[in-house]
């Protein structure tokens, strides 16, 4: 998400995302002084996503402060623990990106199982896709409900072409262990070229058409997501982007507590161009 510029800072009561579900009908070729079509184009509406909150704490006991005497020693200790806390929170957020938003009593973000649902329907961003069918994502079941080297590429092809609209097409395929290893097995006799940019981010990627194919351990083993990242964002509250809070003395312990906060949600402006292949 960071690499593709899809992490944005926002403010406001809710996370409002304008939708792009149709082409602008006023687009046309013209000649000279021909009158241009200025009629309103109803291509945008809005989905509303709730803020979700994530927090953690770093604690330093009085004894640790004694053992790390000196201002710089305490700063180094806090920096190390805050760094560990931020990584731990990022890992929790990365895992939540694949959720359906119902975990921990519906407090976590609405991840790919909500935005790109197995059934293709459901309510997302306050819009019921059973009523508004333009808001349904694409979904397909693997042949014989199983991933195999015999059928995985044809299954991928069938879903992929449903997600192409003009120059718009999936640019990222995120897979769980089963579809990823099955897809790799079909490429054993071919040269596999990893994207060095993604390799620098810790992902080993291969190519499928114009899409990077990456394995993510947080992704369920039975799913393969076809994503058009132009329409996906991780929206983050401007003052809650892994921001440490004020250090506070515990009222019932000899300890100093430093909290850290994140708030936001995963949003989508076009579900129809997102797809999932599952068993």
Q: What percent of the chain has pLDDT over 70?
A: 92
For residues 167-178, give the mean pLDDT. Answer: 96
CB atoms within 10 A of CB 118: 18
pLDDT at 218: 96
Flag the least confident range among 44-58, 170-184, 265-279: 44-58
Confidence of residue 192 (pLDDT cuts 50, 70, 90): low
pTM: 0.85
List of E strands, the chain: 7-10, 15-18, 46-49, 52-61, 123-124, 127-128, 138-141, 172-175, 205-208, 211-215, 223-227, 232-244, 248-249, 255-268, 275-278
For residues 61-81, give the mean pLDDT. Answer: 85
pLDDT at 151: 96
CB contact set of 20 (below 8 Å; sequence gap of 6+):
43, 44, 231, 269, 270
Contact indicator for 56, 259 with CB cutoff of 8 Å: yes
Beta bridge partners of 268: 232
Greater confidence (21 vs 92) lies with: 92
Query: pLDDT tens for residues 133-155?
Result: 999 999 999 999 999 999 999 99
Backbone angles phi, psi at 36, to 5 degrees: -90, 150
Can you give the residue ranges of every domain in the chain?
Answer: 7-34+43-278
Confidence of residue 227 (pLDDT cuts 50, 70, 90): very high
Q: Domain 7-34+43-278: which CATH class?
A: alpha beta
């Amino acid at each position: 998400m960071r690499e593709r510029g899809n992490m944005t800072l926002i403010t406001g009561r809710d996370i409002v995302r304008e939708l792009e579900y149709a082409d602008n009908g006023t687009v046309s070729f013209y000649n000279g002084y021909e009158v241009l079509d200025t009629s309103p184009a109803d291509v945008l509406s809005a989905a509303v996503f709730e803020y979700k909150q994530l927090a953690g704490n770093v604690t330093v006991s009085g004894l640790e402060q004694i053992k790390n005497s000196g201002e710089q020693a305490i700063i180094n200790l806090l920096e190390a623990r805050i760094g560990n806390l931020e990584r731990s929170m990022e890992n929790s957020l990365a895992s939540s990106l694949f959720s359906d938003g119902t975990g921990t009593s519906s407090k976590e973000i609405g991840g790919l199982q909500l935005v790109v649902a197995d059934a293709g329907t459901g309510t997302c961003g306050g819009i019921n896709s059973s009523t508004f069918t333009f808001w349904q994502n694409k979904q397909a079941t693997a042949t014989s409900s199983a991933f195999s080297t015999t059928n995985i590429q044809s299954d991928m092809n069938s879903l992929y072409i449903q997600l192409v609209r003009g120059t718009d097409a999936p640019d990222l395929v995120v897979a769980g262990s089963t579809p990823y290893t099955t897809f790799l097995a079909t490429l054993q006799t071919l040269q596999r070229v990893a994207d060095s940019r993604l390799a620098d981010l810790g992902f080993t990627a291969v190519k499928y058409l114009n899409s990077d194919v990456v394995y993510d351990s947080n992704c369920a083993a039975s799913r393969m997501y076809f994503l058009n990242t132009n329409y996906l964002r991780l929206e983050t509250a401007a003052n809650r982007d892994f921001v440490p809070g004020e250090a506070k003395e515990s009222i019932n312990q000899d300890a100093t507590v430093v909290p850290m906060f994140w708030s936001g949600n995963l949003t989508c402006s076009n579900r129809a161009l997102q797809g999932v292949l599952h068993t």
